[in-house]
Structure formats: C-alpha cells, structure tokens
Structure 1
Amino acid sequence: MRAVIAGVVLAITLVLSISLTVTIGPADLSVGDVWGSIWSHLTGAPSPLSVLRDGIVWELRLPRILTAAAVGAGLALVGAIMQALTRNQLADPYLLGISSGASLGAVSVLLLGFAVLLPVAAFAGALLALAATLALAGAFGRITPTRTVLAGVAVSSLAAAITSFVIFWVATGDAYREVLSWLLGSLAGARWEAVLIAGGAVLVVGIPLALTGRILDAFALGDTTAASLGIPVQGVRWTLLGAGALLTGALVAVSGSIGFVGLVLPHAVRLLVGPGHRALLPLSALTGAVFLVWADTLARTVFEPRELPVGIVTAIIGAPVFAILLARRRSEA
C-alpha cells in the first residue's frame, strides 16, 4: 500500500512539476496559459496566447521539460536494474562504457561540423562501446558480471582518452564551449525530435524493463536460486543489460552525459519502499523524472541569462545526497 500511495503521489507531482516549470522564466505565463497552449495544439483550437508566448510554451520549454522527464526516468530505471544485475551498489547506467562511447561519437560529429547527426553518432558510439565491453569480457573466458564491469571500466577509459585527444587536436574557438556543454549534460537544444527519441525509448524499452521486478527479485537471491525457479539466468542477465544499454544510448544521444541520477535515486527510493524491485523500478523512474525536471529548471534559471549544463546541477545535488545515504546505510548496519 505504501508503494501504491508513493506511486500516485509521484505521478501527480510529475504532472504538477511539468505544469509549473514551463511557467518559470522571463515570459509572464501561468499554468492556465500552459494548458491552454497544449489544448490548442492537440485539438486545433485557436491558442489563447500570442504567437510569441505560444511559441515559448510549445516550441521551447515544453519539449525541453518533457525530454528532461523522459531522460530522468530512463536513467533512474536503468540504474536500479544495473545495480540489481551486477549486485554492485555503485553501478549506474554508464557502467559498461556507454557514456564514454556516446561522448566519443557525439564529439566527433560536433567537431567535424555535422551537428545534425549528433543523436545518431552518440547512439552508435554507445552501442559500439557496449559491444567492445562484452567482447573484452568474453576474451578471457566465460562472461561474468565482475569481468563485464572491469571491461566496461577499461573501455570507458579508452573512449574518454580518445575523446580528449580529438578535442585537443581538432577543437578551436567556440567549439570548446559547445563540446564541454554536451559532455557535462545539457538539454538546452531539446525540441520535439528529442522528445520523440527519449520518450519513445522509455515507452518501447523502459516500460518492459520496469515490469521485470519479479525476475530481479529472484536474482537478488543468487543465480542458483534464480535458476531453480526456472529463470534462464545468463540469457536474462544479458538481455536486460543489453536493453538497459540500448535505452541509455538513446537518452545520452539527446542529453549528453548526466551523472548521479541513475546512481543516487534508486538508493533513495529503496529507503522509502524497501528493496523489492516490483515497486522500486517504477518508483525510481517517476522519481528520476521529477528530479531531472527541477534540476534542469535550476540549470536554466539560477544564473539567467547564462545557463549551466544540467550535469553540473545533478552533481552538486547528487554527490552530498549520496554521501548522506551511504552514511545512513552504514549507521543502520
């Protein structure tokens, strides 16, 4: 019952957060104006706003905030799954070198002047990094979670080194600022195409992942117990890891590398509802959506007219919160 109540509260909070954050900024907007604009575009009715204010809502703020919600939900969900599959409480969505691979692909096309291909390049880089991680893990025998994590660290370090070399060798002038903004995570350029990519990935890949709670609860009891329950352990593990990597690649392609969301929020939700994954997965997704919506709003408004990369905000909030969670868990133990 506590999980159900938490889910309802978080869902309502998400809707209210989206409605309120669209109004925050220099334009004089109300929640009624926001929903009036949305209604007019969905039904074809005349907009109650002027062309400029309607454009601010529909073309600028709403797609950015919806993208933030989708990215936050996906990262928190994948973080909870990675922690369960690897039995590593420090696991996050970027564990298998996915972020570094996506960064290498994105930075390459940015510096070559093909920014329009950034989502495709980032997604391709993420998948190549995943393939390299699995190939390296399997080169020394049977693929195990520990070998996979170590291979992911190696691939991530190599991709980060190549990315730094490319930036050092090619970047000039304002290109440094554009690349740095993407590497730190930014939703400034998010439009409806980004909503389609991130939201579509969450719907197609994320929802099935959120329904795997029973399987992950069996994994928590150990591979032997899970196998005795009729679960094909290796096949399920790599299917879930691959799906998580696929979802993360799609999210990184539109937002850059945003840290701490997938690492911290599953731990916070566990304190609320316990370790059971049937509640943990959907509640982590809702919490991640709410958190990133407000984090991005802070990023674009605190130092207005200048804007921070949202990855800086999530790190400033996430690092001390994670330290508090670790201290609390240690005291409870």
Structure 2
Amino acid sequence: MAKLNFGGVEENVVTREEYPLDKAQQTLKDEVVAVIGYGVQGPGQALNLKDNGISVIVGQRKNSKSWDKAVADGFVPGETLFEIEEALQKGTIICYLLSDAAQIEYWPLVEKYLTAGKALYFSHGFGITFNDQTSIVPPENVDVFLVAPKGSGTSLRRMFLQNRGLNSSYAIFQDATGKAFDRVVSLGIAIGSGYLFETNFQKEVYSDLTGERGTLMGAIQGIFAAQYDVLRKKGHSPSEAFNETVEELTQSLMPLVAENGMDWMYANCSTTAQRGALDWWKRFRDATSPIFEELYDSVATGKEAGYSIESNSKPDYRVDLDAELAELRDSEMWQAGKTVRSLRPENN
C-alpha cells in the first residue's frame, strides 16, 4: 500500500503497479463472484471481471429487461446467469449491486446464503451505514467490504475498453477471514479501477450522497438552469444560451480541467475570462456554501436516506420518476442540447 501526501494530509492508496492484475487473479482464483443485480453498476463490473479472467456469475430476476441485457452481453442462462437465489448459493463473494431499495427487499434472502467465510461486497455504503433504516446487518463470520467506482457503470466499462481506469474508493467494514484486504483490493483492480483510495462505509456514503445532490448532478443542473434562463430572458437564442452554458463547459473546458487542473485552464483562457472567473468564483462559493452545509447535515442525520427509501419503495416509483425525468428532458434547455449535440461534426 502506498501513501499520497496532499499538503500534509496522507492517504492510503493502492495502484495497479503495486497490486497488478495477475496478483488479483491469483487471489481470486478459487472464488466465484456472484454479481447480484444487473442495472447501474452490475453490467460494467461483471463484464470487466469476466474479461479479466475472474470466475463471475450474474444473479438477476428472470424474464426482466436486465436478464435479457445480461444474455445480450454474453452471460449464459444456467452457466453464468442464474436466478438471484441460485447465484447467492453458488457465489463465494456476493457483489450486492441492487438498488438501495431493492437491497432492503432482498436482504432476508441474501442473509440466508451468507455462510461462514463468504464475502459481502457493496459499491455503496448506504445499506450498512443506515442499517437502522435498512435492517442490513451482516453475520459476523463473513467479510464485508466495498469498492465504489467514482462514476457510472457505463463509464467504468467504457474506460476499461479504452485501457484506462476509473478511480475507486475501498473500505473494509468486517474482516472475518483475515483475507478481506486482499479480496477487496483484488476486486477493485479486476473491475478496472485506476487506483483505489481508502475510506470507510460512512464516509463513502456521506460524500457520495452529498456529491450526487451537489456538484455531480443536483447543483450543476440547478446552475445550468439558472444561467440558461437568465440568458434567455435577456434575449439570447436557445442555441447561444445552451452553448455558453453547457456545450462549451462539457466539450472544451472540463476536459482541460480533467487533464491539467483548474489553474491551468484559467491560465490558458483569455485575460478577460481569467479576470472575470477570478473575481466571481469566491462569490459563488460563498453563496452556495450554506446550501452544501445544509445538504451534508441532511445526509449525515439520515434524512436523505429516509426520503430515498420511502420514495424509491413506492409501487408507482417508476411512474413518478419518469414524469420528473420527462420534465428535464422536455425543457427548452435540454431540447436545445439535443439539437446542438446532433450538429457536432462526429454526428454528421
């Protein structure tokens, strides 16, 4: 394990150099990794494990869209694709990748097959951290750990196919066998992580829920909408408003930030852009900091978890979700985005 120093703060990290794939393969050679759920993270992780030579099976409800997707992806019913209960029985490492609400629903079945020496793997700290609401309390004789890729399963798979890696956090909640570290790090490498940084279940879920509601999705959509609406009210066209709000950011500037950092991007913009950005960024920080404090407190007290469980467990959840997503999709800003994307050179 290596240590990175961030301005005097040391973090434990694991890289591919110190823990190469062949070491991960050796660690997992006698394991059967059962990926339970084939929705958001399941496909990317299962396919990457499979391509990296790990014995992996998928457990999914039969006659579902996800079952059909697993078949289309090359998993064979009766050989590498099973109903959930059969996969739980066969697996020595249970990758519990169902949605948070579905994890609560299936937990009594999963617990039944967590026999001594098995491992329970998560990609989110939700179920364990908020177990007063989820009732997910693993038996003491199994390993419990997580690997949380810092991105979607789609991104994990796409970057894997490009021979790149998506950074992930890892955490060990319970080491019953004495092998939890090697197991979790091996899985992290085998699913295609660029490097792994250490955390714990609580910190993972607190930072994740804050990020999703904040800069990763919620806040960025809110800022997009606010700027776009102001530009439109001031007489700018939909195309101009979208390009200045979203397209330039995502297509031009964010790739530069990803490659070299924000300071480099600032230094390589016009002097007018530099001056304006330097003058305004602290005002945006100060304006939004109270909202982020409120958000973090809502996460840490379990309010966000409770709301998610209540909302996502409703029988008509999908209907309500589709309506909310339609509101985004049908907004002028994202309809303009659809048109702008169609005009990119690679799409013509």
**Per residue, is there more strand in 1 or in 2?**
2
Scaled by the length of structure 1, what TM-score is found? 0.25
Instruction: State the structure with bigger RCO (CA 8 A, min sep 6), 1 or 2.
Output: 1
Bigger radius of gyration: 2
**Per residue, is there more helix in 1 or in 2?**
1
